[in-house]
Chains A and B, each alone.
Chain A
Amino acid sequence: MSLIDLANPTRFLALSARLLPWLAGATIILLAIGLYQSALAPDDYQQGATVKIMFIHVPNAWLSMFVWGVMSIASLGTLVWRHPLADVAAKAAAPIGASFTFLALLTGSLWGRPMWGTYWEWDARLTSVLILFLMYLGLMALWRAVDDPSRAARAAAVLTLVGAINLPIIKFSVDWWNTLHQPASVMRMGGSTLDKSFLIPLLVMAIAFTLLFVTLHLAAMRNEILRRRVRSLQMMQASRVAFSSELSTGSREENASKGAA
Chain B
Amino acid sequence: MMSLGPYAPFIVTSYAAAALVVVILIGWIVLDYRSQTGRLRELERSGVTRRSARSSTDRP
Contact = CB atoms under 8 A, between A and B. Distances in A.
A99 B10 CA distance: 19
B50 A232 contact: yes
A143 to B, nearest CB: 14
Contacts of B36: 223, 226-227, 229-230
Interface residues of B, number: 33
A107 B17 contact: yes
Interface stretch (A52-60, A151-159, A181-189, A253-261): A52-60
B48 A49 contact: no
Contacts of A233: 40, 43-44, 48-50
A33 to B, nearest CB: 16
Interface stretch (A109-117, A134-142, A162-170, A195-203): A109-117
Nearest to A40: B2
Nearest to B8: A49
A73 interface: no
The A interface is mostly helix, strand or loop, or mixed, namely helix
A60 B17 CA distance: 12
A111 B18 CA distance: 13
Nearest to B15: A56
Contact of A107 (B18, B39, B40, B48): B18
Nearest to A102: B21
B10 A229 contact: no
A150 interface: no
Interface stretch (A74-82, A125-133, A172-180, A234-242): A234-242
Interface of A: 10, 39, 43, 48-50, 52-53, 56-57, 60, 95-96, 99, 102-103, 106-107, 110-111, 113-114, 212, 216, 219-220, 222-223, 226-227, 229-230, 232-234, 236-237, 240
5 contacts: A39-B2, A43-B5, A60-B18, A219-B29, A236-B48
